[in-house]
Structure formats: C-alpha cells, structure tokens
Amino acid sequence: MICQSLGWGGFLIVQLFFAHLISSGKGQPVDFADDLKVVSIMTMGMLIAHYSRIYISRWGLKEMGWLRLVPRAIGIAFMMSLIWSIVSAGWYYGVLRDPWPGEINPFTIMAMSVINGALVYGGWLSFYFIYHVFNRFNVSEIERLRLTAVVKDAELRALKSQINPHFIFNSLNSVRALIDEDPTRARQAVTQLANMLRYSLQSGSKQTVSFEDELTVVNDYLALEQVRHEERLRLRLDVAPDTLRRAVPPMLLQTLVENAVKYGIAPRVDGGEIAIVARMEGKDLTIEVRNPGSIESINKPATRAMADQPSTRVGLRNALDRLQLLFGESATLELVQISPSEVCAKVRVPQPIDLTIGASDNGMDPSPKFNAVSV
C-alpha cells in the first residue's frame, strides 16, 4: 500500500502541476475545487489498482511467463480503465453535477478516457509485474543458497563417514596385536583407542576442531601404530604455539599422518621419521606432514596388500573437499616431492570467517602417549 500511495501520489502531483501550468498560461486563476476533483479521481484509480491485486493473485498471473502474461495484462489494463472511466463519469456528472460537454460525443469522451486509463494502468501493471519478477528471483536465490548449504552439509557428513571407519579399523588391528604379547600395554592401547573413538564421535557433529585436538588424537594414533612398527616409527614435532587454537576440519591431520605411516613407514625395512610442522603465515595456518618415500611409490604400491587398499589420493581428495567446503577455494592441500627420498603433504587453512573454536574439552586423556622430538 505504501508503494501504491507513493506511485499514485507522484502521478497526482504531476497532474496538478501541469493543470496549474496550463491555467497560468491562459491567465486563469487556480481553482481548488478542480484540484479536489482531480484528487478524488486519482484516489478512485488507486483504489481500483489496489484491489485488483486480489484478482491478479487469484488468477495466478504473477507466476505466468511473459508470453502468456502480456496479452492478459493488456486486457486487465483495459478492463480496469473501463471501470475507472465509468466510476469517474458517474462521480463527475452524477454526484458533482458537472455540466456535460455537449459539443463532444459521449462515446468519444468515454473511448478517450478508456485509452488514457489503459495507458496509466499498463504502466502500473508493468512496474507491478517487474517488481514481483525481481522479488521472485530474490526468493529463488535465497532458496538456492539454502539448498546449497544443505548440500554442503550433507557432503561434509558423507566425507566424514568415509574417513572415520578407516582409521578405527586400523586401530583395532593394532590393539589386537597387543593382547597376547603385553596385556598391560594392551590396556593402555584400549584407553588410547577409546580416546580416538570418543574423539571420532564428538568431532562427527562438529564442522571444525582445534588443531591442538588434532595433535592429541594423532598422538594416540601413533602410539598405537608404534605397537606394530616399534623403533621403525619416529616422530618429529615442529609446531608453533599460536597454531594450536586455529580451526581445522576434524580428522584432517590424522588422515595425513595415517597416509604417511601407510606409504612412508610401513613399506620400508628401516622405517623412518614423520615430521609434523605447523606455522602461521599471515592469517593462514600452514601444516606440513613429511615422510620418507616418493609419489611414484604411492601410485605404484610396493606390496600386493597395499595395492588392494585405496590410494592415498582418495584420503587427500576427501580432506581437500572438506577444507574447501568449510574455508572456501583459497584452502589448499597438495602432495609434493620435496627431495628424492621425502614426500610432503602441504595444507593451507585460511582464517575462518564464521567458524569459531571453543576451549578444548574432548574428554580425552591428556597424558603423552608417544615420545616425539619437539623442535
């Protein structure tokens, strides 16, 4: 109703302005009674336009395509104009008792009035439908963004479900190897596995966790892997303190370290060192996981057992998908050969816009599980 009032009010001002301009040009005084008549006629036109919206909605015109809408809009404009002309004539000559201009044929006056009114209502309908087209576009855009968010959330959950069972099964195999050999250490391993399972369940409902929590679960994972690899598996940590509270996707670091163990340590008789390096570069968190080996050996597994398992590219692709779903296209993850005998998974996590990390409270045992060399 506000838009109606503004539109018709502006049209009324233009009508009064030109009426006064013509009167002044003829040297005639301003007749406020004529102004009131113009106001009353414009009010009738506005009311007809206002209440016509009920029928426009009822007939479904706002949802029609242009080819079907245009002829109907023209017909509605003439119908509204005819009603306006009849009501105006009745008001002028019936209620206000204005003299009928005898020198002009009544049908000619009515025809001119209907044509002029149709032009006015045609313009009004054009603005009205254009407004609703843009409004419908905005509504559809909001719906599209909402559906995009739902799809992204579903993708995140699907990617998480691909990763979590994989590391759980590997951990169970490590615990099973301990039961007969060292029951005391087996109990400790069960505690470590419980920490990992708790973390997996809790992080499944979160979009992000702190990097400190990721380091903690990696500590548990490597402690379990050391059961199999013993002294063949060594760890070097080079983590800046200001990186610990930064947000990362759940299981990101664990996925990278698992691939490093699987393709860098397991195939080598003498094992090797896994290095985890984390730094802040401006507002971005950079993480590097280095391990012995080569990209070519990953693409061509050394053993038949490894050949039967999914390539590390699957885990890295899933991790990258989760990164970019949460942090945008500026988040990166790449696997590079930094020397003839060393591979590095490099991750860049941009500053989150609306993702926040609270205090660490994952219910995990905070005691160290794995002897690492910290730099």
- pTM to 2 decimal places: 0.54
Do 261 and 234 contact (CB within 8 A), yes or no? no
Do 186 and 335 contact (CB within 8 A), yes or no? no
Q: How far is CA 255 from CA 35, 121, 199, 261, in A?
A: 80, 66, 14, 10
Angle between helices 106-178 and 32-58 (to 10 degrees): 40
Name residue 334's beta-bridge partners: 346
Q: How far is CA 66 from CA 62, 75, 133, in A?
A: 10, 14, 10
* Region of 271 on the Ramachandran plot (φ > 0 left; ψ -120 to 50 alpha; else beta): left
Angle between helices 66-89 and 32-58 (to 10 degrees): 140
The pLDDT score that the predictor gives to residue 313 is: 61
The pLDDT score that the predictor gives to residue 353 is: 55
The pLDDT score that the predictor gives to residue 87 is: 85
In the chain, where does the domain assigned CATH 3.30.565.10 lie? 179-357+364-374
d(Cα 341, Cα 291) in Å, to the nearest integer? 9
Task: Find, among 49, 55, 254, 62, the residue nearest to 166 by Cα.
Answer: 254
* Region of 374 on the Ramachandran plot (φ > 0 left; ψ -120 to 50 alpha; else beta): beta
CATH architecture of 179-357+364-374: 2-Layer Sandwich (3.30)
Tens place of pLDDT per residue across the chain (375 aa): 566 666 667 766 776 665 666 666 656 665 656 667 777 778 888 888 878 888 888 888 877 877 888 888 899 889 998 988 888 888 777 777 766 666 667 777 788 888 988 888 888 888 888 887 888 778 888 887 776 766 666 665 655 555 556 656 766 777 787 788 888 888 888 888 888 778 877 776 778 889 999 999 898 888 888 877 888 999 999 999 999 999 998 888 988 998 898 889 988 888 899 999 999 999 999 999 999 988 876 666 544 444 444 444 666 887 888 888 888 889 999 999 999 999 999 999 998 654 444 434 444 444 444 444 433
Task: Find, among 322, 356, 373, 372, the residue nearest to 245 by Cα.
Answer: 356
**Mind listing the pLDDT tens digit for each residue in 78-106?**
999 898 888 888 877 777 776 666 666 77
d(Cα 91, Cα 41) in Å, to the nearest integer? 8
The CA-CA-CA angle for residues 3, 5, 10, to 5°, reads 100
The pLDDT score that the predictor gives to residue 160 is: 57
